[in-house]
Copies of this chain bind each other. A is one copy, B any other.
Amino acid sequence: MKAGSFRKFIENYVFLPEHDWTEIAKCLDSQYIKKGDFVLKEGQICNHVYFLEEGLLRFAILKHGEYATKFFTVAPYAFTSQYSFANRLPSRESIEALEPSILWKISYEQSEALFKLESWSTFVRKLIQEVQFFTELILEEAQNETAEKRYLKLLEYRPELVQRVPLKHLASYLGVTPQSLSRIRTKIQKQP
């Protein structure tokens, strides 16, 4: 079934009547992204809300000529560049595929029309609340914990990121140089 994993994903948040899923499914287009390609580049307006069926993305902003990682999105999950999407303004962030990725997308106009469905409206609200919660957790750690402690937490709670994300992107997410992260890794490996 087309985008069945997206249907299951939505059903984790709300009750989804058959009729509503039919309406949503009509709006879905698929997109394949190669490793290293961008779903969105800074300066573009984000015109879609996406479901990442397979793959891994990083959200990053240009700082001092380099991309600094804000966070990662691992399939299966839904995403957009929220501020750009909601306000129809150029995005400050870029979204890059760190692995070959399969996406399903819904345009801004279609998403607006889907808000007549209570299921879609509730799903979007609950999803944004969850994203807000995750962002606050990352912020709390960035404000209060050392890079080493944050790396240890990644190892414990998000080991798939540590396995799948290149060291340089993990380092920029933690706000340290790749050399510093290498030293942290070596130190941890030496501990009993």
Contacts and interface: CB of A to CB of B under 8 A. Distances in A.
A70 interface: yes
A115 B123 CA distance: 13
B126 A125 contact: no
A129 interface: yes
Copies in the assembly, this chain: 2
Interface residues of A, number: 30
Interface in A34-93: 61, 63, 68-70, 82-83, 86
Given A68-B144, A135-B136, A143-B173, A129 B83 contact: yes
B173 A133 contact: no
Interface in A127-180: 128-129, 131-133, 135-136, 138-140, 142-144, 172-173, 175
Contacts of A182: none
Nearest to A143: B175
A5 interface: no
B83 A140 contact: no
A173 B140 CA distance: 10
The 10 closest A-B pairs by CB, nearest first: A142-B142, A83-B133, A139-B139, A132-B132, A135-B135, A128-B128, A143-B175, A86-B129, A63-B144, A68-B144
